[in-house]
Every structure is written in structure tokens, then in C-alpha cells.
Structure 1
């Protein structure tokens, strides 16, 4: 009863008080300590483990448990010791160049699988989406949260190759649902999974966030004179005298008349494919070789539609174009800020900087410039198109 008196129990008369004190003193020997090795009694060690010393020499040896055997713990801890952080002052010239190389950091990122193509690539070359609840409906949405925060633990991701073509294809007929990992399905459950939302403007929403993040990073480099080196052009003769060139930032566009003609050619290709599909479906009976009266066997499983003339894939989808220049015998990337960010963003960035009126600047090789160059690389890869 609260507030009442408490009756204290007396020691039992069957156990003398000195015996109780001895037992308590023995059991409380170094509280919280785990007995190991010789503290457990006489033992015998060899190169691999420890055995208890038994009175009967003919009896089978009894080894100590691995969690209590100091020999096993020391052998195992050799491979579990954390390495010391590298000291930049002790780097060799090659190690320092590797430490300042953005391509090395991109390739050294963890390898993960693209859920659209099932290709394993470094995370720096993939776009990651995470589930977040809608503020009003509370339905799960797949959003590029990693582009707006620096937090590392955002939940199970949905990754795919950072290309506009892949993002567009995933949005057609809910193709992204087939790429959901088991971790996302287990986390959301069946009811919430049916209500998951993929933004219709996802192919344009991702580069918008990438541009905002890139402008925020570039503002630091454009803030003070000396962090960027102005040059006349990205040509070799204009950048040869600059030390430690990592990439070249060009203010004008690199697009030519051939790029505009390529867009027209792409529209012609789409129209040709449309009419080819229409012709193949409308005249299936005439084009199917297995539909002839004298043919007795049926079409094989691999046969789906009749073959119609189409443009070769290598001509329809040529290699992507990434502009480079030669600096002291090696290639360095050339990025057009107008093509990546747009004329308005470039104008605002140049007006607030110390490089107003410059046509081209050089970003020097340094560790603090690696995040900026990785963002430039990711945005360039996302919007890259085939060469004319």
C-alpha cells in the first residue's frame, strides 16, 4: 500500500550470515566483466584455439567457446580492424591526381542495378528515386529526394540509368511497376502499392532539380575571382598554358545547324516507323510466309509479326556526343552552360559573378571541385543526344 510501512525480511536461519556474505562477495567479483581465458580456470593454448586443462588426462579435450577464446578473438580481429584514414600530405603525385579526378570518384561509387535494363553500374551514373507520402492524400510518390537533400538514409531506392530516354520509357503504361524491388514492395504493402504515383512530368522534373543543384554549386566558384581561369576558347592553343585543367565551361551553345536537322530527321524516322507498323498489321495475311496455302506447318513461337523495312538501329541510334578538347596530350571535358542550364540561368549566374563578359572559363583540378564536375557529368549524360 502506498505510504505504508515496509516489512524487511530477515535472513533465513538455515544459512548462516557469514556464508551469505561469502557467496555475495564471490558472485559480485568485478561486476559486468566477461570471464575469458585463464579466468575460467587452467587452460592450454595452441596456435589455433584454447582448451581446458582436465584432471583426467585420458579424457577428451574440451575447447573454450569461440566467443570466450582469446586466441580466436585475436586472430579474427586482425581482419576486422578499421583502416586508418589516409593522409593527404603523404599522397604520391599519382594518388593526388586520382583523389582529384571526378571520373575516378564516379567509378568508385557502389555498383547497383538499373531496374529498367538490369545493367549494373556505379551509383553516380544512376538516378535514384525514393518513396515519400503526399502531404494531403498520404499516397506514396516516387520522387528524386536525393537531389534535394544530403541525407544518406532515405529508404529503399528505385534506381535507373540517368537518361531522359529511360525516364520516359518507365512512365509509359506504368512500366516502372515491374521494376519495383522487393524491399519497396515489402515496406509499402499491397494496399499502398496500388496507390503509388509516378509523376507524369518525371522526365522534365529530374533535370530541373539537377539544374538547380548545379547552379547552387557553381555559385560558389563564380563568387570570387581566381577560382575560375578565363580563356579565349576551349581550343588547345588557348588552354595549353593553364595548369591543372580539369574541364572547360563554355558560356555559348555548342549546338549547330546539324542538330536542328537531326530533330527533323528524327520526326521523319518516327513517321516511317508508324507507317511500317500500320502496313505490317494491315497486311499480315499477305506478308506472313506461313499463311500461304501450300504451307502445312504453323509459325514458330519466335515469330510475332511480319518483317517490314525499317531503318537500321545503328543509323537510327548513333553514339552519344560528349564534347572534349585536348590539353597537354589528354582529353578534358567541355560543358556548354547554355545547353545544360538554359540561357536565363546562365545570364543570372554570370551577372552575379566576377566573370561577366567572359566567353569561356577553366575549372581547375581540385578535390573541392569534384562534386561540381560530377553534377556536370550527370546532367550532360541525362540530356545527351545522338550525334548528327
Structure 2
């Protein structure tokens, strides 16, 4: 196996001994003013007469033959003392039974890891709950690759014989295993490979994702936004142009799962094959579940059922009468490790030759602690939410959740108003998939006739009637996350959309105006021009070209053009909704996002949606001069507003508009219908 190296720009290849460290601290005794003064004077040397140059820290001068001269600030002991960090003293041994138990508790150790942030879910969690990915160089091509970092695997295997009762020290082999294993699958020639060589230090480009297989698979999916976010948060000298095109394996989720399973199995085999002393020092077999209560130093239960039936996620065993360890985790190893690794465990570890119930004990050992944490990390990595009661499940496949309020807790109830974004003229919701985190439940509605080519004979009114029914059914679902109710018992939502989606939002809001279940509290229109102008070329918005298959991409273009032609027909026949009489007070607030630039054309002509581009209201003053509560300009023209380089600004502006609608809806809650 060839050695792979951390991706590091040439400007960082200095010989500084502290370069690989992200921080450096100093002994307290070396940071006193006297010690710093002595160190600086030792480096100044002597004058022409052989006398040592002396610094006066009070007057901040240095004595020379020419007299006292001011010193540079970097020679000032007070400045040096303020800039340098003092090394913390090593913690003493835990005192008391509770503190000793807490220090040896894997769950407490997991919560004590440093806080890191997952850019794709916008979640900050202890590092244990995240998976680190490092950027490395391919050993053959030199290209940048993303590789799983070592944090999940380091210190899992004992470095001495598996009898130690004190903290282990890793020999750095685990640190290289993750990166070397990732690139080995892509290296066709391994005849000249070497083994056992470890990278001297970690890569300066490290990013994190929530440690869940579904999240890792999402990063490697067709939407490249999630992969781009991994490196988007990193800046500085370590980020070079070649790092922006780093390769991400499509099977990264399965690869990482296999690596964790192998490391866990290897550690269990090492603990189960004990050459000296009692065989059950670390793993004790139990005849039945009652015997678990009598095991000393209980850690967790590892269960090896004969078949794959049995509890998988979050199974526990209660131990009656225990002061500590009253609730024990039960790991179903057949589900956790897979049949192949379970068979290897049975064949290779003497203690696992027979039996189903085993207790993995707790010892004051780093490797034992890491093994407990790795098993629990595997449990979380494979965990999946109950799709039967998830807001991801909609009444129609054309209405889908684009993003929850919090990716780490996709089923979490919310008091923020959710938004339903309706497709543009192309019939797809592809543009909304590229948005960054909005911080609220965001649903997308695409054209249900996108693939069939059918049309809505009743035009926009018929289409809006169907979408209104879907929204109503979704809001009525008992698992709909919005828990805030209005005084009349209805649930507030926002509607919105790009181009045609904004017009459809108006019609849907009008049809739900008298509804007793749904209250449309606001509309977000994204560059939706007044339909009173020429619409012959109003939409070319977001053709779905996410497919990597060339024929499928061509078909998607054809489908999108067909949808846009149908949208033009429907807009020409559409009569704008009227809010007269008692409907006037039910009219929702509207925020408009307006493109700054004109659409460029070869002939220099002005396309239909730009006829009112100079008008801040995009022509809607002919409908109602007080229609919009706020108008915000965004970068780009109508057709490139959602391109990658503009998506961050677009997301911020959308969040700004939704916050404005949220404020307006809260004021309306106190108004009578």
C-alpha cells in the first residue's frame, strides 16, 4: 500500500517544529518577565567591548555604545508574555467513586470532546458525534482526495499486550490507516507499495459532517452543493485552487462503514484472545440476561443472536439495584458489524466461539474506552429515523421536503413558519435544492406532469387547486412539524417561488384564503414579473440537468421546454386574483426579490421578463401599488440567480425576506380575521 500524504501547499513546507500543531503553549516558568528577558538578552549578543547587551524593560530600551536605543516590540518581555499561552497543568487523578466512574464513562468522554461544526447541517456538536474528513494527495496521481480522518479509529487497538490497565499511547499506525485505505482501492498497481508508514501529522484541511451514513451518502450524491460546503468554510494559505476539485468517492458511506466495522472487529478479537491470565478479563460470556447483573465492571452488552431478528437501535438493559451502570447499552453485533465480520469474529476470537450474550467491561484504558465509543459511534452511524412518522413522507411524490429546520434532528417540532416553494416554469424544484441552510422547514412542489407531458386544461387555477389540496393534506398530517397554531386553530405557512412559482403562490393563497386549516401568512416572490407584459420568453429557469447520463439530460431539457411552453399558455389565460370584500383582510403580506441585471442576449434585445426591470415593483404597481411590504435586490439576472457563485447571497436574501414575513405574520396574529 502506497503512503499517502496530507495535502499541503508548498508555502507551508517550512521546517518550523510547531508548524503541524494548531496551537503551542509554554511552560509557566518560561513566561515570567525575568525568564523572557534573559532569553531575549541571550540572543542579542555582545557589543564591541565584549559586554552583553542589556534591556531595560521599564524604559523599553537596549544599552549600546551609542547610548540607550528603543527596542522593537517583539523584544518587549511584556508583549511576549501577553502573546504566549501558558500550558495547562496535567489533571490530577479523579478523586471519589463518582469522579472515577465519570472519568471512565465513554458517554461522558464523548460529550467532553471539542465542539466542531458540520457545514452541511449547520450543526455544532462535540467532535465525537461528527466524522472528520481530511484532504490528502493520491499516491499515484497527486490529485486531491477527501479521506476519512483517524479520529474514529485511533487508540482502538491495544498497543501492548491486551492486559494493560493504564492509558495506551498510539503508535501512529491507526492515523494513517484511514487515508491509506481510501486510496488503495483506486491504485491499480500495489507491487511497490509500502506498509506501516504513517503520515507525520494531520492535514491542515479537515472538515466534518454529522456521523450518519445518510449524511455521508448525501455528500456524495448528485447535488454537489454538499461536497462544496466541506471546503467552503476553510480559507487561508492551506486552501489552494486545486483543493476546490478534490475527489469524493461515491461509495464513501459504505467505505467508512466497512472501516469502522473492521476496526471494531479487530479490537474485539484482540480483547477476546488473551494469552495470559483469566480469559474473561475484558469480555465475559453470560448464559442468560440475568447473569449480566452479576458481572463486575460492567460496560455494555454485546449480543450475537443466531439470526438477524431483534432490536437494533437504542436497545438498553436495566440492572435493578445498581448504583452505577443501572442502564446498559445492548449492541446487536450481527446488525452492527454485518454477517461477514461476525463470522470472522466467531472464527478468530476464542471467547466468541459459542454463546450469544457477552459483557464488554470497562477498564481504565484508553483503548478500551475507545472501543466502547466506536461501538456506540457505529450505532449512531447506522441509525435511521422512522420514515413512517417523518415529515419527509408527503402525501404526493411531487411535494417533498427540501430541508428540515435542523438536519441533525429532522423530526424536531418547530415554531418557525414553514415555507412551500413552488416550481418555476421548467416544472422542477432543482434551483431550491442548491440553497444553503434556511433554518426552517422548506418544502418543494414540482410539476406532477413533468415526466408525462400532460397539461392542466384549467390553467393556473386548476394547478393551484391541486397544490392547495396537497398543502392542506400535509399540514393536517399529525407529524407535520409546525406546532404553532393561530387563534382560530389554523396553521400558518409561507408560500413562494421563482418566476412562475411566485404567480402560482398568489393563486394558491387566494384559494386557501377561507380555509380553516391553513393560513397563508406571507408570500415570497423571486423575480416574478407582472404578467401583463409579453411572456413569450419569460421562463428558462432551471432545467433539470443533474443526471450524469447524456440521454437523460437531453430528455430533461425537452421536458423542461415543454413545461415552459405550457407555462406561457397558462399565464396568458390567467386572471389575477382579486381580494375584495371580506377577503381583503385575508390577503397575505408579500416580499419581492428582484434581479439587478438584464438578461444578456446576442441581438441586444430586451427579453419579456426585463421589460419592467427598471421598475422597483417589476410592473406590479399596475395591480396594486402597495402590494409589497419589502423589495430586496439580488445579484445576477433572471436566469442565473441560483448559480453557484450567487447562491450564498441568494440564501441570505431569502432568509432576510422570510424573517420580514415572520415579523409581519406575528403582528397579524393579534388581528381579527
Same fold flag (TM > 0.5): yes
1:210-221 equivalence runs, <5 A:
210-221=260-271
Match of 1:378 in 2: 377
The CA deviation at 1:197 is 1.5
Q: Does 1:121 align with 2:121?
A: no
CA distance in 2, matches of 1:216, 1:253: 21
Match of 1:252 in 2: 305
Match of 2:344 in 1: 348
1:136-147 equivalence runs, <5 A:
136-146=140-150, 147=153
Q: Does 1:190 align with 2:236?
A: no
Does the CA-based 8 Å contact 2:262-2:341 persist in structure 1? Answer: no
Q: Does 1:232 align with 2:232?
A: no
The CA deviation at 1:133 is 2.1
CA distance in 2, matches of 1:141, 1:75: 41
Q: Does 1:92 align with 2:92?
A: no
Q: Does 1:35 align with 2:55?
A: yes
CA distance in 2, matches of 1:27, 1:254: 89
Summarize the Cα distance change of 1:25–1:118 in structure 2 as closer, same or farther, 3 Å threshold. closer
Summarize the Cα distance change of 1:255–1:27 in structure 2 as closer, same or farther, 3 Å threshold. farther
CA distance in 1, matches of 2:141, 2:72: 55
> Deviation per CA, 1:52-90, whole angstroms, max 9, x where unpaired?
9xxxxxxxxxx99988888x689969x9543332343x6
Match of 2:329 in 1: 333
Give SS of 1:149's match. Answer: helix
Does the CA-based 8 Å contact 1:169-1:175 persist in structure 2? Answer: no
1:170-319 equivalence runs, <5 A:
170-173=219-222, 174-179=224-229, 180-183=231-234, 187-194=238-245, 196-224=246-274, 225=279, 226-233=281-288, 235=289, 237-252=290-305, 255-256=308-309
Summarize the Cα distance change of 1:93–1:189 in structure 2 as closer, same or farther, 3 Å threshold. same
Summarize the Cα distance change of 1:190–1:345 in structure 2 as closer, same or farther, 3 Å threshold. same
Summarize the Cα distance change of 1:155–1:80 in structure 2 as closer, same or farther, 3 Å threshold. closer
> Deviation per CA, 1:212-235, whole angstroms, max 9, x where unpaired?
2212222221112122111124x4
Does the CA-based 8 Å contact 2:298-2:361 persist in structure 1? Answer: yes
Q: Does 1:361 align with 2:335?
A: no
Summarize the Cα distance change of 1:86–1:177 in structure 2 as closer, same or farther, 3 Å threshold. closer
TM-score by length of 1: 0.61
Summarize the Cα distance change of 1:232–1:67 in structure 2 as closer, same or farther, 3 Å threshold. same
The CA deviation at 1:247 is 0.7
CA RMSD of aligned residues (A): 3.5
The CA deviation at 1:171 is 1.7
CA distance in 1, matches of 2:119, 2:233: 12
Segments of structure 1 that go 5 or more residues without pairing to the other structure are 1-23, 38-49, 53-62, 260-319
The CA deviation at 1:134 is 2.4
Does the CA-based 8 Å contact 1:254-1:339 persist in structure 2? Answer: no
Does the CA-based 8 Å contact 2:134-2:146 persist in structure 1? Answer: yes
Does the CA-based 8 Å contact 1:36-1:69 persist in structure 2? Answer: no
TM-score by length of 2: 0.37
Give SS of 2:354's match. Answer: coil
Q: Does 1:322 align with 2:314?
A: yes
Match of 2:211 among 162, 167, 191: 162
Match of 1:263 in 2: none
Does the CA-based 8 Å contact 1:254-1:336 persist in structure 2? Answer: no
The CA deviation at 1:202 is 1.1
* Structure possessing the higher relative contact order (Cα contacts under 8 Å, 6 or more residues apart): 1
Does the CA-based 8 Å contact 1:253-1:339 persist in structure 2? Answer: no
The alignment covers a number of residue pairs equal to: 276
Summarize the Cα distance change of 1:145–1:68 in structure 2 as closer, same or farther, 3 Å threshold. closer
CA distance in 1, matches of 2:248, 2:328: 37
Does the CA-based 8 Å contact 1:158-1:181 persist in structure 2? Answer: no
Does the CA-based 8 Å contact 2:220-2:227 persist in structure 1? Answer: no
Segments of structure 2 that go 5 or more residues without pairing to the other structure are 1-45, 61-69, 154-173, 177-198, 389-673
Match of 2:576 in 1: none
CA distance in 2, matches of 1:83, 1:99: 19
Give SS of 1:204's match. Answer: helix
> Deviation per CA, 1:4-29, whole angstroms, max 9, x where unpaired?
xxxxxxxxxxxxxxxxxxxx877532
The CA deviation at 1:144 is 0.8
Structure number with the higher helix fraction is 1
Does the CA-based 8 Å contact 1:247-1:334 persist in structure 2? Answer: yes
CA distance in 1, matches of 2:49, 2:267: 62
Give SS of 1:141's match. Answer: strand
Does the CA-based 8 Å contact 1:36-1:68 persist in structure 2? Answer: no
The CA deviation at 1:200 is 1.2
Give SS of 2:294's match. Answer: coil
